Amino acid sequence: MYKLKKINKNLYKLESNTNLNFLKVYVPFSITKLYNKYNISIEINNNKDSEINISEINKYKDLENIISSLKNILTDEEELIDLTNYNFYSNIKNNNYKNNNLDLLRLTIKKSKNTFITKYLDINNNEKSIFDIESKKIYECQIKCNYLWINNNKYGLILNLILIKDVK
């Protein structure tokens, strides 16, 4: 049984945060807006990326495996939620392209009301607008996974992009 703190009827906070730090990840696409949230994807090459990136993506895959295998969760309000008829939505899409095993990870750009919490830093550590992030470039990023959503017989984890930074 996994215990979560209820934020609202669709959002639950995990007991512990999972922090992921990726070095030199590829951003294949521009920022997109979906369901009033801004998202960006990063690509991990399981054949050529650094051991750190492989270790971080495996840490996240392990968390997804744990969460996707849950049958029930218990909220801090002692509400039992049966997940047996729910489908798990993964943030990872795996693809093989030109003999490379690639994981595409969808991240949420964190926002509170009308202010972005996600920070974008250029090579000189100057803060810039997240809309200055360019696709088809390499970045470092810090991600926090600390929420679970449940809606319309589906559930999944939220990956919040905390920091994205240009690399040399």
Any idea where the domains of the chain sit in the sequence?
A: 2-166
- Report the DSSP beta bridge partners of residue 43: 26, 104
Q: Output DSSP code: residue 131.
A: G
Count Cα atoms within 13 angstroms, Cβ side, for 86: 21
Unique residue bearing structure tokens 């997804």: 64
2-166: in CATH 1.20.58? no
Taking the model in full, what pTM does it have?
A: 0.88
Short-list 59, 85, 77, 92, CA closest to 12:
77
The tokens for 98 are 């030109």
Q: What is the dihedral angle through the alpha carbons of 92, 95, 100, 103, rounded to the nearest 10 degrees?
A: -10
Predicted confidence band of residue 2 (pLDDT cuts 50, 70, 90):
confident
Q: For residues 57, 53, 124 and 115, what is the CA-based torsion angle, rounded to 10 degrees?
A: 0
Quote the pLDDT of residue 78. Answer: 86
In three-state secondary structure terms, 51 is helix
Average pLDDT over residues 51-66: 92
H-helix or E-strand spanning residue 22: strand 11-27
- Tell me the average pLDDT across 41-60: 87
Look at residue 54 and tell me whether its pLDDT is greater than 70: yes
Task: Place 1 in a pLDDT band, splitting at 50, 70 and 90.
Answer: low
Q: Which pairing describes strands 119-121 and 154-166: parallel, antiparallel, or unpaired? A: parallel
Distances in whole angstroms, Cα of residue 114 to Cα of each of 29, 109, 110, 111:
23, 12, 11, 7
Q: 34 or 21, which is more confident?
A: 21
Whose tokens are 């002692």? That residue is 78
